[in-house]
């Protein structure tokens, strides 16, 4: 299975969300942080391609490059089933189809359809982790 196609979740960088007022976007803003975020997502996808879901254990490790401060990786399959959500592990195994972000956007549904349209990453607005 091509896990890169399965990896619909991506790194949430709340500083990126907080500093951009142009939501929704079809591509990340051309900032250094956006480039680092995209590189991290691509690195995670490569690790999933290599190790499958076994890579998720590393993604869940708090303090790692994958999960620290306001940054974490999350993943849903193409049916909106949550496969990985380190700060909120109770969400894993649930279906998030139709759920909205803090601004009412059908965030999960759009993440799933965006890769089908293009390889662009999309941002969403969330409250700070742990709030």
Owner of token pair 């940054």: 71
- pLDDT one-digit tens code per residue, 62-92: 999 999 998 899 888 888 999 999 999 999 9
Q: Which class for 95: exposed (0-12), middle (13-18), buried (19 or more C-beta within 10 A)?
A: middle
Q: CA 107 to CA 128: how far, in whole Å?
A: 16
- pLDDT one-digit tens code per residue, 20-67: 444 455 555 568 888 888 899 899 999 999 999 899 999 999 999 999
Is the overall model pTM greater than 0.85, yes or no? Answer: no
Q: Phi and psi (nearest 5°) for 110? A: -70, -35
Q: Does domain 3-117 have CATH number 3.30.450?
A: yes
Contacts of 21 (CB under 8 A, 6+ apart): none
What are the residue boundaries of the structural domains of the chain, listed by start? 3-117
């Amino acid at each position: 299975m091509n896990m890169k196609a399965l990896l619909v979740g991506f790194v949430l960088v709340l500083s990126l969300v907080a500093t951009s007022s142009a939501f929704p976007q079809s591509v990340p803003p051309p900032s250094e942080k956006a480039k680092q975020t995209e590189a991290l997502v691509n690195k995670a996808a490569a690790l999933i391609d290599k190790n499958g879901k076994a890579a998720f254990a590393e993604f869940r490790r708090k303090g790692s490059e994958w999960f620290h401060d306001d940054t974490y990786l999350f993943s849903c399959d193409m049916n909106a089933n949550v496969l990985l959500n380190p700060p909120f592990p109770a969400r894993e195994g649930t279906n998030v189809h139709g759920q909205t972000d803090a601004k009412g956007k059908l965030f999960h549904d759009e993440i799933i359809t965006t890769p089908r349209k293009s390889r662009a990453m999309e941002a969403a607005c969330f409250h700070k982790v742990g709030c």
